[in-house]
Amino acid sequence: MLYESGLMVGGLPGNGFLQDRTALIYGAGGPIGGAVARGLAAEGAHVFLAGRTQSKLDKVANGIREFGGKAETAVVDALVETEVEDFVDQVAKQTNRIDVSFNLISYGDVQQPLMEISAEDFTQPIINATRTHFLTTRAAARHMVKQRSGVVLLFGGSGPQTSPGLGGFKVALDALEGLRRQWALELGKRGIRVVTMVTGGIIETIPWQVDGRDEIVQEINRTAHLNRTANLEDVGSVAAFIASDRARAITDATINISSGGIVDY
């Protein structure tokens, strides 16, 4: 099972480099959110899993607990300001600190060529992405500034590359990078780091029924410079590194685990 050995380091819990840290994971019932939750828990973090579907959250939480990790769940709509603030405040009251905030909820994107998409479908992912990340980062930062430490982790990245027919999705990712830069600048002097993880696509997360899946997988494999591409375990382990003090000099940056598929510039 994923992270089986990591959750019981050397057969003894409590040896991880995120021991006693508190992490909030929005969209934790999804494959990426679940991977990040497992990766952080494997290094000792107490993870609080938020999402809209309790059964999905329970599945991730139970897997973490089975191997000695600490996980709790809450049904939260990360687009609703009061729900986000209540969730974060309750966790902070319970643990006395907020160390990590990760958000990868669905943005409700409709992927069509720009000449064919409606204005509402085009703008929806841009609005949802920027709104949810603004809300969750602000709520976490209010507590992080008091302890003068914390990490906000985004996922997806941007850059000059794109593909046809994405509608507003790629534009939403571009907007999030602008938001990341703004938060990093305003929060950096207060001890808070803001970082984006870039993968170029995780094959495990592409549903089997998606049209053109084989072509997408082939492209991810073709562009990789290594003989492998990033998987969910890579996502979790790199997220844990970014969230730790081992990455304390990294902020306002992208961490690229695309196996060379996305070339930095």
For residue range 82-106, list pLDDT tens digits in order.
999 999 999 999 999 999 999 999 9
Query: What pLDDT sits at residue 15?
Result: 73
Residue of higher predicted confidence among 210 and 183: 183
Nearest alpha carbon to residue 75 among 95, 100, 58, 50: 50
Contact call for residues 82 and 11 (beta carbons, < 8 A)? no
pLDDT at 157: 76
pLDDT tens, position by position, 137-181: 999 999 999 999 999 999 987 667 777 778 778 899 999 999 999
Neighbours of 246 (CB within 10 A): 11
| pLDDT for residue 10 is more than 60 | no
Tell me the per-residue pLDDT of 55-65, one tens digit each, with 9 for 90 and over: 999 999 999 99
- Radius of gyration over alpha carbons of the chain, in Å? 18
Cβ-count burial of 3 within 10 angstroms (0-12 exposed, 13-18 middle, 19+ buried)? buried
**Residues contacting residue 112 through CB under 8 Å, at least 6 positions apart:** 121, 165, 167
Query: What is Dmax (Cα atoms) for the chain?
Result: 57
Split at pLDDT 50, 70, 90, the class of 2 is: very low
Residue 5 has pLDDT above 80, yes or no: no
